Amino acid sequence: MQISTILYVCIVILAGAAVQSALGFGTTMITMGFLPLIMEYSKAMGLSIIMVSISTLYISVKYRRSIQWKIMLPVLIPTAVICAVVNILSAKVSSNIMYLLLGMMFVAVSAFFFFFSQKIHVKPTVKSGTVLGVITGIFYGLFASGGPTAALYLLPATKDKKEYLATIQAFLCVNNLMILVISLLLRRLDMADLPMAAAGVAALIAGTLLGLAVHDRIPSGVFGRVIYAFVGIGGLWIIISHLM
């Protein structure tokens, strides 16, 4: 394994972890936007899931007292069920198609959130949680990224940035660990990837600490728009890099 490849992976993981801990999600958007440029889509997803699982687990434990389980469960349960089914069924889908669909999904979600989030107020009910849970489960199963749609439910349902961050990290952590198990069973991740994963842990820790510091400094009034803008930019980059 070349040192330049490991360095590239570490830089991508550091950036992804920083965004994740600052905005509540984003590791997968960064890693899946850059890692497929140097490795197979399925391998990139497996490595990404390992990193994001560690990151979300750490933040969930750190802010465990702020996790709102009652708010989260209506969206978590349908997401987990749909995610598991879709993730297994998507194993044979072309990686090129998956990569392009990932970028298109991010752009569409970003535009919707950015222009209509102020007009739409999702109440944390079983009905709304189930609907968004199904949508999130599909996105999570296909792209290992359900943060953007989960945020539509959790951001207005929680009272402040800290409560939102803790709750969405716990939500992502449960689903990430489940996808990690599925990835191992489907051999999307094997022992040959472990040295690269181990090298990325230091970058993951540094990125997580950096992101938490940035999170505390983002004004609450613009927090949502920062999230939505980032999603759109990430989607555009994925589409452009795929076409190139």
**CB distance 204 to 56 below 8 Å:** no
171 — pLDDT class (breaks 50, 70, 90): very high
pLDDT for 1 beyond 60: no
Residue written as token pair 């600052």: 22
Mean pLDDT for 189-210 is 75
48 — pLDDT class (breaks 50, 70, 90): confident
% of the chain surpassing 90 pLDDT: 11
Can you state the angle between helices 194-215 and 3-23, rounded to 10 degrees? 30
* Average pLDDT value over all residues in the chain: 79
pTM for the model: 0.75
pLDDT value of position 151: 79
pLDDT for 20 beyond 60: yes
pLDDT value of position 167: 93
Mean pLDDT for 186-211 is 75
For 84-133, the pLDDT digits (tens) are 888 777 666 655 676 677 778 778 777 776 776 666 666 677 888 888 88
Alpha helices (runs of H) in the chain, residue ranges in sequence order? 3-23, 27-34, 41-62, 69-89, 95-116, 126-143, 147-157, 161-185, 194-215, 220-243
% of the chain surpassing 70 pLDDT: 82
